[in-house]
């Protein structure tokens, strides 16, 4: 079984938002909403500063609270790669998932369902990368099978220091940031 | 830019002229020619290659249509500039086509200039109006009294029509308001400029020095891609900036310099490197001119002295000088691009050129490569009429090293009527209200005009001042001239229509040709459609138009671009060498070796206004693009946290800015941050639109240009230094 995830190199990321724009056009994300976003985390006092730049999105958690809290089963884990998805037809837009997500990764689509990153499952099923990965001008994003020890993502996680976002939430995020 | 030496270079290395390049194509790519999309209701996905126009970089792109409707734009994998990955603006290019604020039909002013009150007219009416006024101006003042301001490759055909009409007063803000001082500084030193795309070999550099250059926020695609590659390869990055930029966050050394003192740092670095014998002696002795005078001139710039000027710890200055020298020749001091800062910009750029020369990195891997190009001749038009009057922008050669036309020189002549009156302005795809400093002077000049024509895709502020506004098709809807690029490898790329224009917009070539016909200049347009023009140019060198339509790019044969590969070094300066000491400058009464002068201090309670780029916007041209608007719909004023605290300001508050001339900005959101010095503030350029027709962007954020009332002219080349304005905060909004 494959377990899809992403590894993002914060050393290379310049926070240009190309990932956000590519997601928007690829997936026709409506005006006023985005499925991914950029965080610039600054620590220190001028001029002794450190900044980490992260491209963030749904973490496609191994223990996804948005799935366990969904009253209709619309939020579900896809058979392929453990990707967390929303079945639009079954969603009653009760917003329980929005409240449960520690990453604020979801929004209610104007058409009336909870929406978020799908890891571009429509592309992945065809053997392509998510749109954000393929557009990145700095090549800072990697997509692949975390269960395969020989995949690029697995190798990167073995060789580089990394972290996930809010690990204390216990959701087991599958988006990893190289430091 | 076809500089003489590169032409020579081509001859030496054997041009690809006449050889039809073999094309590998792209596996699995279904590409259809533009004509096919005219068939209504095309089912499924179509891919059509073109090149981008959201900025001037001209990245090769592939537009995707879903059932005949524009869906998305991606990079063209065979394009050497984008390598299949566009920047966020290019990816958001679809928003340019769908922008609801676009100009839709030709407009003629119906009340006072600047009132933005219009009558929609037909194209015939618009051309009749323009041609009549042009002929009147020609009869009364001569054809030279019409000037063109232009930006980008789309200006090609309007330039042609106006040259045929008899004027040479054709300019672009990209010179005197942007890269001009840099290009002149490098030309004075190496005999050649760094051109565009810059000939910097960032990807192979082992040490990269960025001085105020904010790659990563400034998204010149190839440069950013190579910067990321260099970071991955472990390059040592040194960033000199009053603001902790994105690039600074990637740096091994960040130098928080006091604004306006870069030249002090550069001269000191060079003095350390020379005194400690860390420079490339072989390069300097072989290619250098006037090195002894140069070393004498810079010998008094010590780290301790520089500390007082720049605020940078002397130890850090010494350490970074050593770091730069350690990696030579693969040590690249980036020349930057937007260089019009303080009015001494050519001399600062010359110092950057000289520091690079000390590294011996010209023509060398990790330094500056020698760009190559295909030799595609231009279309054989009849010769243009000769002007007896010469150009209006630089009377008596006041700015002796200006090698392009000075926009603000044309503006000045329009105001004063000297050396001769300017009575007509054409403005193509550049918002002069945001591009030129001191808006009041621009408006004053416009009041002296008998004709003002703006050609653009969106109703920018300058369009609001026009007599006639001509709505242009966006790049996804039109052909333009082919792009014969000077780059690491030679190639030709095509811009071709992907979708139809939604209203009565027309491509620039069509407008320029129609206007020429109205002016009885039809002999300058021997072709009926631009396709014939492109086909002629391509056929002249044996390339296939059909192939180019299908692939978007025709690659040429690789040629040597480094001395290691056999590229020849030549320095077309008067001495034929790298001019450490410039007799040209001395002869014209300027410092032959750059000298430091102190910048003006901000008055108490005021902060120096700095401006720059955001990765998701190009100039003031993309703020109403609804895709890019969702990335960033207003700019912020960056204020140091301690200063913000002192004024009781926090992030998210709105304030207004007031400059020393009493100009008050639109309201702008505060970004209280550690990422900037306490003596300056910063905002992204291009926001704060007040054109009523630009609904999506109207009054969102503030305009830096509006606050740039002061400017210092570079005496060498006429550029306008614009980082010389000071603002204070108006907290009550």
- b/e map of B435-468 (b: 16 or more CB within 10 Å)? bbbbbebbeebbeebbbbbbbbbbbbbbbbbbbb
- Tally: H helices and E strands in chain A: 6, 10
User: Domains of chain B, with CATH numbers?
Assistant: 179-370+570-587 (3.40.228.10), 607-730 (2.40.40.20)
pLDDT given for residue B11 in this prediction: 35
CB-based contacts of B604: which residues, under 8 Å, 6+ apart?
Answer: none
The answer to whether the CB atoms of B628 and A136 lie below 8 A apart is: no
Half-sphere exposure in the Cβ direction for B427 (13 Å, CA):
33
pLDDT given for residue B388 in this prediction: 86
Tens digit of pLDDT for each residue in B418-429?
999 999 999 999
What are the sequence ranges of the domains in chain A?
Answer: 4-178
Confidence of residue B30 (pLDDT cuts 50, 70, 90): very low
What is the rounded average pLDDT of the residues B3-20?
34
Residues in chain B with CB shorter than 8 Å from the CB of A33 are 630
What is the rounded average pLDDT of the residues B674-693?
97
How many CB pairs below 8 A link A and B? 124
Give how far B122 is from chain A: nearest CA, Å: 33
The answer to whether B392 contacts chain A (CB < 8 Å) is no
Give how far B73 is from chain A: nearest CA, Å: 8
pLDDT given for residue A19 in this prediction: 98
Q: Is the link from the previous residue into B551 a cis peptide, with omega within 30 of 0?
A: no
The answer to whether the CB atoms of B246 and A140 lie below 8 A apart is: no
* Rg over CA atoms, chain A: 16
Q: Could you tell me if B10 and B372 are in contact, meaning their C-beta atoms sit under 8 angstroms apart?
A: yes
Report the C-alpha gap between A63 and B681 in whole angstroms.
45
Report the C-alpha gap between B535 and B543 in whole angstroms.
9
pLDDT given for residue A1 in this prediction: 77
Q: Could you tell me if B505 and B102 are in contact, meaning their C-beta atoms sit under 8 angstroms apart?
A: yes
Q: Could you tell me if B380 and B490 are in contact, meaning their C-beta atoms sit under 8 angstroms apart?
A: no
Return the residue of A nearest to B88 by Cα. Answer: A18
Q: Among B215, B229, B674, select the one facing A49 at the smallest CB separation.
A: B674
pLDDT given for residue B578 in this prediction: 98
Does the pLDDT of residue B231 top 70, yes or no? yes
Confidence of residue B270 (pLDDT cuts 50, 70, 90): very high
- Which three-class secondary structure string do you get for B603-662? CCCCEEEEEECCCCCCCCCCCCCHHHHCCCCCCEEEEEHHHHHHCCCCCCCEEEEEECCC
Q: Among B94, B221, B640, select the one facing A137 at the smallest CB separation.
A: B221
Return the residue of A nearest to B617 by Cα. Answer: A16
User: In whole numbers, what is the pLDDT of chain A averaged over residues?
Assistant: 97
pLDDT given for residue B319 in this prediction: 98
What is the rounded average pLDDT of the residues B230-252?
98
Confidence of residue B47 (pLDDT cuts 50, 70, 90): very high
The answer to whether the CB atoms of B676 and A32 lie below 8 A apart is: no
Q: Could you tell me if A93 and A108 are in contact, meaning their C-beta atoms sit under 8 angstroms apart?
A: yes
Does the pLDDT of residue B671 top 60, yes or no? yes
The answer to whether B677 contacts chain A (CB < 8 Å) is yes
Phi and psi of A121, rounded to 5°? Answer: -55, -30
Q: Which of B36, B53, B54 is nearest to B45 (CA)?
A: B36
Q: Among A16, A25, A137, select the one facing B94 at the smallest CB separation.
A: A25
Does the pLDDT of residue A84 top 70, yes or no? yes
Confidence of residue B41 (pLDDT cuts 50, 70, 90): low
Return the residue of A nearest to B95 by Cα. Answer: A25
A78, with CB counted inside 10 A (0-12, 13-18, 19+), is middle
CB-based contacts of A99: which residues, under 8 Å, 6+ apart?
Answer: A69
Residues in chain B with CB shorter than 8 Å from the CB of A18 are 85-88, 91, 615
pLDDT given for residue B601 in this prediction: 95
Return the residue of A nearest to B639 by Cα. Answer: A46
Confidence of residue B40 (pLDDT cuts 50, 70, 90): low
The answer to whether the CB atoms of B231 and A26 lie below 8 A apart is: no
- A4-178: in CATH 3.30.70.20: yes
The answer to whether B254 contacts chain A (CB < 8 Å) is yes
pLDDT given for residue B43 in this prediction: 85
The answer to whether the CB atoms of B219 and A11 lie below 8 A apart is: no
Q: Return residues 65-84 of B near A (CB < 8 Å).
A: 71-75
pLDDT given for residue B369 in this prediction: 98
Tens digit of pLDDT for each residue in B122-141?
999 999 999 999 999 999 99
Report the C-alpha gap between B173 and B151 in whole angstroms.
7
The answer to whether the CB atoms of A31 and B630 lie below 8 A apart is: yes
**Minimum mean pLDDT range among B11-25, B334-348, B438-452, B528-542:** B11-25
Report the C-alpha gap between A92 and A89 in whole angstroms.
8
Tens digit of pLDDT for each residue in B59-106?
999 999 999 999 999 999 999 999 999 999 999 999 999 999 999 999
The answer to whether the CB atoms of B676 and A42 lie below 8 A apart is: no
Report the C-alpha gap between A84 and B710 in whole angstroms.
56
Report the C-alpha gap between A11 and A140 in whole angstroms.
8
Count of residues making up chain A: 179
Mutation site for B-interface testing, chosen from A9, A10, A14, A140 by largest number of B Cβ within 10 Å: A14
The answer to whether B228 contacts chain A (CB < 8 Å) is yes
Report the C-alpha gap between B471 and A82 in whole angstroms.
50
Q: Among B219, B630, B675, select the one facing A16 at the smallest CB separation.
A: B219
Q: Which of B316, B269, B308, B124 is nearest to B594 (CA)?
A: B269
Does the pLDDT of residue B585 top 90, yes or no? yes
Residues in chain B with CB shorter than 8 Å from the CB of A25 are 71-73, 91-92, 94, 627
Does the pLDDT of residue B452 top 60, yes or no? yes
Strand B60-66 relative to strand B69-75, pairing = antiparallel
Q: Among B227, B630, B641, select the one facing A24 at the smallest CB separation.
A: B630
What is the rounded average pLDDT of the residues B489-508?
97
Tens digit of pLDDT for each residue in B535-580?
999 999 999 999 999 999 999 999 999 999 999 999 999 999 999 9
Report the C-alpha gap between A22 and A12 in whole angstroms.
18
What is the rounded average pLDDT of the residues B387-405?
95
Residues in chain A with CB shorter than 8 Å from the CB of B221 are 137
Does the pLDDT of residue B12 top 90, yes or no? no
Mutation site for A-interface testing, chosen from B73, B98, B228 by largest number of A Cβ within 10 Å: B228
DSSP-assigned states of every residue in A62-126: SS-HHHHT-SSS-EEE-TTTT-EEE-TTT-----HHHHH-TT---EEETTTEEE---TTHHHHTT
CB-based contacts of B677: which residues, under 8 Å, 6+ apart?
Answer: A46, B242, B243, B256, B258, B259, B640
pLDDT given for residue B435 in this prediction: 97
Q: Which of B363, B359, B354, B273 is nearest to B319 (CA)?
A: B273
Does the pLDDT of residue B230 top 60, yes or no? yes
User: In whole numbers, what is the pLDDT of chain B averaged over residues?
Assistant: 94
Distance of CA B566 to the CA centre of its chain: 31
Does the pLDDT of residue B637 top 90, yes or no? yes
Residues in chain A with CB shorter than 8 Å from the CB of B249 are 49-53
pLDDT given for residue B450 in this prediction: 98
Half-sphere exposure in the Cβ direction for A43 (13 Å, CA):
3
Confidence of residue B17 (pLDDT cuts 50, 70, 90): very low
Does the pLDDT of residue B18 top 90, yes or no? no
Residues in chain B with CB shorter than 8 Å from the CB of A53 are 246, 249
């Amino acid at each position: 079984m494959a377990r899809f995830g992403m590894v993002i190199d914060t050393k290379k990321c310049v926070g240009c938002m190309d990932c956000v724009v590519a997601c928007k056009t690829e997936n026709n994300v409506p005006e006023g909403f985005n499925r991914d976003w950029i965080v610039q985390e600054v620590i220190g006092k001028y001029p002794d500063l450190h900044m980490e730049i992260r491209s963030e999105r749904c973490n496609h958690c191994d223990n996804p609270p948005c799935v366990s809290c969904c009253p209709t089963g619309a939020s579900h884990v896809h058979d392929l790669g453990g990707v967390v998805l929303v079945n639009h037809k079954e969603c009653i837009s009760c917003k329980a998932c929005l409240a449960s997500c520690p990453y604020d990764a979801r929004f209610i689509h104007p058409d009336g369902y909870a929406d978020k990153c799908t890891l571009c499952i429509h592309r992945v099923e065809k053997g392509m990368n998510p749109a954000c990965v393929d557009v990145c001008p700095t090549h800072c994003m990697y997509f692949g099978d975390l269960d395969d020890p020989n995949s690029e993502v697995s190798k990167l996680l073995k060789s580089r220091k990394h972290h996930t976002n809010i690990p204390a939430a216990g959701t087991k995020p599958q988006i990893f940031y190289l430091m | 830019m076809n500089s003489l030496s590169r032409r020579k270079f081509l001859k030496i290395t054997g041009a690809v002229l006449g050889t039809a390049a073999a094309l590998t194509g792209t596996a699995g790519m279904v590409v259809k020619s533009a004509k096919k999309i005219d068939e209504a209701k095309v089912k499924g996905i179509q891919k059509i290659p073109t090149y981008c126009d959201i900025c001037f970089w001209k990245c090769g792109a592939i537009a995707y249509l879903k059932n005949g409707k524009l869906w998305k734009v991606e990079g063209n994998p065979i394009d050497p500039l984008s390598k299949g990955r566009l920047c966020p603006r290019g990816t958001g290019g679809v928003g340019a086509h769908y922008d609801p604020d676009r100009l839709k039909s030709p407009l003629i002013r119906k009340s006072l200039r600047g009132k933005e009150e219009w009558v929609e007219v037909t194209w015939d009416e618009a051309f009749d109006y323009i041609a009549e006024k042009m002929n009147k101006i020609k009869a009364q003042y001569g054809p030279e009294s019409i000037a063109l301001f232009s930006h980008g490759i789309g200006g090609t055909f309007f330039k042609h029509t106006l040259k045929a009409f008899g004027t040479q007063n054709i300019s672009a803000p990209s010179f005197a308001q942007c890269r001009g001082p840099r290009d002149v500084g490098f030309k004075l030193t190496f005999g050649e400029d760094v051109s565009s795309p810059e000939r910097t070999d960032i990807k192979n550099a082992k040490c990269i020095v960025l001085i105020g250059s904010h790659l990563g926020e400034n998204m010149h695609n190839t440069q950013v891609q190579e910067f990321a590659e260099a970071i991955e390869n472990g390059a040592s990055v040194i960033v000199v900036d009053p603001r902790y930029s994105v690039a600074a966050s990637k740096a091994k050394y960040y130098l928080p310099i006091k604004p306006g003192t870069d030249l002090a740092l550069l001269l000191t670095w060079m003095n350390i490197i020379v005194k400690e014998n860390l420079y490339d002696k072989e390069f300097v002795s072989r290619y250098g001119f006037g090195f002894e005078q140069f070393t004498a001139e810079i010998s008094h710039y010590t780290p301790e002295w520089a500390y007082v000027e720049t605020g940078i710890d002397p130890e850090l200055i010494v350490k970074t000088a050593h770091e730069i020298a350690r990696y030579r020749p693969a040590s690249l001091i980036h020349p930057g691009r937007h260089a019009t800062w303080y009015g001494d910009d050519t001399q600062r750029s010359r110092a950057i050129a000289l520091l690079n020369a000390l590294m011996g990195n010209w023509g060398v891997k990790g330094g500056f490569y020698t760009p190559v190009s295909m030799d595609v001749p231009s279309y054989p038009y009849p010769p243009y009429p000769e002007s007896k009057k010469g150009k209006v922008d630089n009377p008596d050669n006041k700015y002796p090293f200006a090698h392009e036309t000075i926009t603000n020189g044309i503006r000045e002549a329009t105001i004063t009527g000297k050396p001769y009156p300017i009575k007509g302005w054409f403005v193509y795809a550049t918002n002069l209200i945001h591009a030129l400093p001191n808006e009041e002077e621009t408006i004053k000049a416009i009041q002296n005009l008998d004709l003002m024509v703006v050609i653009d895709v969106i109703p920018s502020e300058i369009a609001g001042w026009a007599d006639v506004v001509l709505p242009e098709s966006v790049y996804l809807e039109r052909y333009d001239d082919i792009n014969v690029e000077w780059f690491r490898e030679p190639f030709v790329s095509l811009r071709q229509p992907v979708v139809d224009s939604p209203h009565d917009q027309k491509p620039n070539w069509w407008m320029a040709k129609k206007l020429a016909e109205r002016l009885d200049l039809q002999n300058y347009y021997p072709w009926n459609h631009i396709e014939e023009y492109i086909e002629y140019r391509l056929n002249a060198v044996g390339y296939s138009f059909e192939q180019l339509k299908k692939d978007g790019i025709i690659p040429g044969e690789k040629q040597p671009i480094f001395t290691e590969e056999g590229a020849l070094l030549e320095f077309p300066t008067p001495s034929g060498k790298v001019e450490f000491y410039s007799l040209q400058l001395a002869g014209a009464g300027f410092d032959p070796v750059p000298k430091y002068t102190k910048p003006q201090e901000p008055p108490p309670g005021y902060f120096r206004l700095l401006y720059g780029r955001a990765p998701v916007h190009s100039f003031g041209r993309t703020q109403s693009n609804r895709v890019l608007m969702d990335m960033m719909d207003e700019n912020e004023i960056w204020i140091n946290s301690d200063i913000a605290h002192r004024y009781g300001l926090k992030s998210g508050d709105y304030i207004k800015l007031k400059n020393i001339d009493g100009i008050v900005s639109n309201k702008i959101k505060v970004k209280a941050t550690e990422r900037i010095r306490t003596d300056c503030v910063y905002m992204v350029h291009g926001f704060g639109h007040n054109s009523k027709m630009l609904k999506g962007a109207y009054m969102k954020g503030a305009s830096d240009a509006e606050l740039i009332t002061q400017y210092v002219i570079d005496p060498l080349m006429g550029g306008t230094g614009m980082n010389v304005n000071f603002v204070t905060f108006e907290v009550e909004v």
